Amino acid sequence: MVDRAVPNLPSRDFDASVAFYGRFGFEVVYRDGGWLILGRGAVRLEFFLAPELDPYSSWFMASVRVADLDGLYAAVRASGVPERTTGTPRLVPVALQEWGQRAGYLIDLDGTQLHLIEEE
């Protein structure tokens, strides 16, 4: 097994998270009353139940590094997540970032910001 780190992110409602992420290819890997793991290929996102979370004041974030950034971004956009500058959920388009890599951003239903980064 390869060493790895997996983000632990809040979800106000597991059913809503499963439906949201499922629209662009994530599947349930594990679920119980207080923990949810979603996977898309080798990417894993783990969620804890946080029904009291205010998505507009959330500071949670994670980086998701993928080989096919354009494919993932297109799948998220095709699922109906709008490109806009405010609100949740939303997408920020892929662009060359100041640190030299291409990245876009997804803000999910719970206000978590996922940095979608092209893996070199």
Is the C-alpha dihedral spanning 97, 39, 4, 2 positive or negative?
A: negative
Q: Hey, what CATH topology would domain 8-118 get?
A: 2,3-Dihydroxybiphenyl 1,2-Dioxygenase; domain 1 (3.10.180)
Tens of pLDDT, residue by residue, the chain (120 residues): 567 788 899 999 999 999 999 999 999 999 999 999 999 999 999 999 999 999 999 999 999 999 999 999 999 999 999 999 899 999 999 999 999 999 999 999 999 999 999 997
Strand 8-11 to 27-31 pairing: unpaired
**89/119 Cα distance (integer angstroms):** 24
Segments making up each domain of the chain, as ranges: 8-118
Q: What residue type is 91 in one-letter code?
A: L
